[in-house]
Chain A
Amino acid sequence: MERIIFYILAAVIILFAVASVTSRKILRAVIYLLFVLIGIAGLYFLVDYNFLAAIQLTVYGGGIIVLFIFAVLLIHHVELELEKTALKKKLIAGALSAAGLAITLWAISTYPFPETYPAYTSIEVRDIGLILLSYEDGGFILPFEVISVLLVAVMIGSIVVAKGKKLTENN
């Protein structure tokens, strides 16, 4: 059963990812990306990591996609079609990506991963909270604090950048 669900999720993810990078209507590309992100949240649910799946749905589905849609609506007309990429550029990019994919898949298939995996149940929110605030070896208190400072800096920075020049200087 989980096998079938995994294959359905994989098909959805790859299909909509391809649609997202090839669609010429920009708003549709954003919505295809939303489907990819929801499929990835499904993958997190499949491995019983419910906390990250919830974060994925709220931060990506609720935050980042809305930010993208706002930007698209502020900048473009909704029905605007992007200009076509040159065929030569597409071929070169496709060849490079395919070569990189082939090398990566070759490296994965020749690497000796263990045949049997250790027993696994799920990742609990309690353990995540404890390790994020732990001072012991392998604790994550320092990156946790650094990332909160980073989020404040980004918030102030994006307000300052998006505000731009003063209106009087804008002729």
Chain B
Amino acid sequence: MIAGISIYEILTLTSILFFIGVYGFFTRVNLITVLLSIELILNASAVNFVLINTYLFPDLLQGAVFSIFIIALAAAETALAIAIIINLYKIIYSVEVKDTEVMKY
């Protein structure tokens, strides 16, 4: 835990970060920037896991391990999404959300 900081302040910080990510997810029109917003959301939840673990259950490690899994999943998701975006650009020469209307089949 952080000396002098209550859990309410930390949860407030991560909630603000989460909803900034949600705002970006709603307003952005470019696929790469939508992906950036998803990274913000995932990071806010990973911070929540670690800090609730260290504040409320310091003798357990579950939250700490889950945050490692979240980071691994975020890396996997980003790699795959960027591969899809680059392939999409090769096919329709655009990465705007509104141009993306055809799937493979």
How many chain B residues have a CB neighbour from A under 8 Å? 70
Contact check, A108 vs B26: say whether CB atoms are below 8 A apart.
no
| Chain A contact residues, majority secondary structure | helix
How distant is the Cα of A17 from the Cα of B13 in the complex, in angstroms? 12
Cβ distance B34 to chain A, nearest Cβ, rounded Å: 10
Contact check, A13 vs B85: say whether CB atoms are below 8 A apart.
no
Q: Name the residue on A nearest B95 (C-beta).
A: A75
Give 19 A-B pairs besides A40-B47, A64-B39, A104-B18 with Cβ atoms closer than 8 angstroms: A2-B5, A13-B13, A14-B13, A14-B20, A21-B37, A30-B32, A47-B2, A47-B54, A55-B71, A60-B71, A72-B32, A74-B89, A75-B89, A85-B28, A101-B15, A161-B83, A161-B87, A162-B87, A164-B87
B positions within 8 Å CB-CB of A: 1-5, 7-9, 11-13, 15-24, 26-30, 32-33, 35-37, 39-40, 43, 46-47, 50-51, 54-59, 61-62, 64-65, 67-69, 71-76, 78-80, 82-87, 89-91, 95
